[in-house]
Structure 1
């Protein structure tokens, strides 16, 4: 027979279960994302850095169509700056989200945050210029979606700065998390693409030569202009604030599902795209 004390204990156990599963899901996602992004950063530094130091700038065109144009010093500098700063963002972003660093190294966290938002604005601006001046593969929808992402990056960075300066730390944290999600849009796109290729055993729903097709159009929209990453983040922030048991469980399941998909995509991108280009 259930006593009042047993009922209260059962309810307390259910309540304590909510933040634990949400924290576990978020920590799992962050761990996988950090590993994947640092692999990507190693690839960026190794591939582009090695090409630059050896003077073989034309190798950039293996990855970025019209990434290097002979005689276009200004344009080439913008591309090089964009790639270099992107590598710094990919390395520094996850460090900003690790609770132990925020807690034990607050000065490092604040200065890295300042650098991060400034670089995000520069990378977003450079990316916007590149999309509309260098051309490349992909359709108009992809270019528009990437442009929308650049606007997100610049806007969210400015909002994160604003709330940090006014000491509204909770709002600052929310906008910094949103900034992190949109800054990594290109990374999410690559990982999502490799997940799709592995699951389907090759290109499906798009032409690999022209890099156009319904799948890539859809992927660019849900990665850049209407980012799924932001939608899931908003679910997480709401679940964290409301502590609603059922919604928290659903949100945790969604996060863990995307974490598994991300694992598959990171493996595919690492073995099929990044490491082969370093040989």
Structure 2
């Protein structure tokens, strides 16, 4: 009798955690699809235009990305784009428990490459924002610059914890690094979700790429990353004893994942595929 009563009780106790795990897994799958699609687009668009010698085509996506006669600056932009593709293609692989547990050597080498690449891309992005005439307003530029600080700090902390074999802390700092490194991707997905839901640009001027919506999106993507807030809620829910808290966090992740899926679909159909077609 006791055994029959205790078994359902144990199952009920862990049901919210299963919901949380399902939410996290769904988020990971959708994020991986979106980031790999973005990586394929970057390689397809920039690789095709570079191979054909039509570097001026970069300016369709990156204003002042290509400047005639500035071979050094163009080289920096090209390397920045290439390394960014490596980040979005390799980042999701670092989050796979299978690779971490079964082939730790590959996980370690991927981690070294990811951290090094993130530092280079962040530094290069910072330089490009302030020297290549990036679009957007001053608040957007400041927000992106703050993101650079996050990336450098989280990369060093993830590396330090790994060296000290503090693997639980290393995992958390690596996830935080992934979130801030993915800032540019989150910005694009957030923008496309907004455009799809509103049927067009609302709250900003597409010509100047400025306005209250884009300013707010930049702040909550780069300077005060909402992704970090959700991640910290996830960490808290993993250890929480209250079923209600766990359930609310899981549902929040599901909702945000659905919005991400809308943005990814909009980006693939309306921006990435047409540019590499």
Question: For this structure pair, what is the TM-score category when the shorter chain's length is used for normalisation?
Answer: over 0.9
**How far is the alpha carbon of 1:18 from its aligned partner?**
2.4
- Give the alignment's TM-score, normalised by structure 2: 0.97
Regions of 4+ moved over 6 Å: none
Cα deviation per residue 1:224-262 (whole Å; 9 max; x = unaligned)? 111111000000011112343211111101110011001
Structure 1 window deviating more from structure 2 (97-106 vs 52-61): it is: 97-106
Task: Name 1:103's counterpart in structure 2.
Answer: 101
Task: Name 2:29's counterpart in structure 1.
Answer: 31
Alignment pair present for 1:167 and 2:159: no
Alignment pair present for 1:93 and 2:75: no
> How many residues were matched structurally?
277
Task: Name 2:245's counterpart in structure 1.
Answer: 247
The whole-number CA distance in structure 2 between the counterparts of 1:155 and 1:76 is 28
Cα deviation per residue 1:185-242 (whole Å; 9 max; x = unaligned)? 0100111101000100000001111111110001011111111110000000111123
Flag the 1:243–1:118 CA change in 2: closer, same or farther, 3 A: farther
CA contact (8 A) 2:128 2:134 kept: no
**How far is the alpha carbon of 1:26 from its aligned partner?**
0.3
The whole-number CA distance in structure 2 between the counterparts of 1:69 and 1:5 is 74
| Equivalent of 1:194 in 170, 192, 195 | 192
- Give the alignment's TM-score, normalised by structure 1: 0.96
Task: Name 2:220's counterpart in structure 1.
Answer: 222
Matches within 5 A, 1:228-267: 228-267=226-265
- Show structure 2 runs of 5+ residues with no match: none
The whole-number CA distance in structure 2 between the counterparts of 1:4 and 1:103 is 37
CA contact (8 A) 1:19 1:243 kept: no
- Show structure 1 runs of 5+ residues with no match: none
Flag the 1:212–1:162 CA change in 2: closer, same or farther, 3 A: same
| Equivalent of 1:50 in 48, 70, 78 | 48
**How far is the alpha carbon of 1:5 from its aligned partner?**
5.4
Aligned partner of residue 193 in structure 2, secondary structure: helix
CA contact (8 A) 2:192 2:263 kept: yes
The whole-number CA distance in structure 2 between the counterparts of 1:48 and 1:171 is 37
CA contact (8 A) 1:178 1:233 kept: yes
Task: Name 2:154's counterpart in structure 1.
Answer: 156
Cα deviation per residue 1:110-168 (whole Å; 9 max; x = unaligned)? 11001100100000000000000011321001100111111111111111001000111
In angstroms, what is the RMSD of aligned CA positions?
1.2
**How far is the alpha carbon of 1:7 from its aligned partner?**
5.2
The whole-number CA distance in structure 2 between the counterparts of 1:171 and 1:242 is 18
Alignment pair present for 1:17 and 2:21: no
The whole-number CA distance in structure 2 between the counterparts of 1:35 and 1:109 is 20
